């Protein structure tokens, strides 16, 4: 795993976003899915599922969350390499 990926994961886990780079709600969903996908691809399925669950929970009751929720659920239960 590259240093950049490690820093991104650490920042997301610790909530370490700077004020200038606070992600939008939609970007947050995307980060959660991407982190889950990275963990899935390196064989860390339990950690991947935690991040997919975070994406699902964060997108609940959000107007733009349906597509994110479907993608996270698919990658958790029936993963595909093409998203």
Res. 82 pLDDT band, cuts 50 70 90: low
Give residue 12's pLDDT. 62
25-77 confidence digits (pLDDT tens): 667 888 899 999 999 999 999 999 999 999 999 888 877 778 888 989 999 99
Please write down the HEC assignment for all residues of the chain.
Answer: CCHHHHHHHHHHHHCCCCHHHCCCHHHHHHHHHHHHHHHHHCCCHHHHHHHHHHHHHHHCCCCCCHHHHHHHHHHHHCCCCCC
Delimit the domains of the chain by residue range: 24-77
């Amino acid at each position: 795993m590259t240093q950049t990926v490690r820093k991104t994961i650490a920042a997301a886990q610790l909530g370490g976003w700077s004020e200038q780079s606070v992600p939008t709600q939609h970007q947050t969903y995307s980060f959660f899915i991407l982190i889950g996908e990275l963990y899935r691809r390196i064989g860390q399925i339990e950690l991947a599922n935690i991040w997919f669950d975070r994406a699902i929970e964060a997108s609940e009751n959000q107007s733009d969350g349906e597509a994110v929720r479907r993608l996270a659920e698919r990658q958790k239960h029936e993963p595909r390499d093409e998203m």
